[in-house]
Amino acid sequence: MPQSATPGPPPDAEVHLSVSQRRTWTDLIRCRTAPQREVERAQIVLLASRRWRNAAIARHLHLAVNTVRLWRRRFVEDPDHGLEDRPRTGRPRRYTDLDRATVIAIACELPAHRGLPLSRFSHADIAREVAREIRPAPSRTTIARWLRADSLRPWQYRYWKFPRDPSFRERAEPVIDLYHRRWEGRPLGPNEYVLSADEKTCIQVLQRTHPTVAPFAPPLDPSRARICTGRTGHLPRCRR
C-alpha cells in the first residue's frame, strides 16, 4: 500500500496497532465474504496506523473525510469494540418479532379453528383476533404492512379438490389425447373426427305468444319478435 504525501489537516489521533491486531485487520480485508462496511473500517485503521492523513485515506478509499475521522476516533477510544456499530438511538421497537409472528400465524389459520363462522379472514377479522392476544394491539395499518411484506392475502382463495378417483389418470389420458387429435398413440387421420355429446334427456319447447313482425321499410328497420313465450312440453335431444 503506497505512502501518500498529500497535504491535509493533522489526524485526529495516532493509531498504534499490535502485531496481532494488524494481522486481524489484514485477514479481514482479504476475506471475500466479509461485509463491505467492516472491510472499509479495517482499511481506515491500517492506513491510519501508517500515519496517513484523513483526507488522503478518504481519497484512497473513495469515502467522506467525516467517515474516516469517525472510525479513526472510535478505534482510538475503544480498540476492542470501536469498529462495531453502536445501538441505534431513538424510540425502541413497539412490537417484537414474536408479535409479528403471532399476527402471521393468526392470518394463516382457518377461522373455524378459532370458532368463527367465517369462510375466510378479512383485515378487520384479523385485527380483532390479534387484539385478544397482543396488548397493546397493532393497528390495522401495521397488520396490513406485515401481511403485505410476506405476500399474505387470507381474504383471497381459489377452488381446488383432491383427486378422489384412483384411476383418474388412466381415464383422463385418452380424453386428453383426443383434444390433441391422438388415439392409442397415433395421430388421427384427415377423415377421422372427434364427436362430443352430453346427456340431455329433454328440452323445453317454447313458442312465442305473438307472431314475429316482418321488417319495415327501409330495410334498416329489423324484424321484431315478442320476448314472451309459452311452454308447449318437452322433446328428447335426438329423434329417431
pLDDT at 131: 92
Instruction: State whether residue 229 is helix, strand or coil.
Output: strand
The answer to whether position 29 is within a domain reads yes
The answer to whether position 209 is within a domain reads no
Tell me the C-alpha to C-alpha distance, in Å, between residue 87 and each of 34, 84, 221.
21, 10, 83
Q: Do the beta carbons of residue 238 and residue 195 sit within 8 Å?
A: no
pLDDT higher than 50, residue 217: no
Instruction: List % helix, strand, coil for the chain (3-state, nearest 5).
Output: 40, 10, 55
Please give the Cα distance from 145 to 147 (Å, whole number): 5
| Pair (145, 78) in one structural domain | no
| Pair (21, 71) in one structural domain | yes
Mean pLDDT throughout 166-172? 79
154 Cβ contact list (under 8 Å, min separation 6):
107, 108, 120, 121, 126, 147
pLDDT at 239: 47
pLDDT tens profile 67-125: 888 888 888 888 777 777 666 666 777 888 888 889 988 988 888 888 888 888 888 89
pLDDT at 206: 72
* Structural domain boundaries, residue 131: 97-149
pLDDT higher than 80, residue 142: yes
The H or E element containing residue 169 is helix 168-179
Mean pLDDT throughout 154-167? 71
pLDDT higher than 60, residue 157: yes
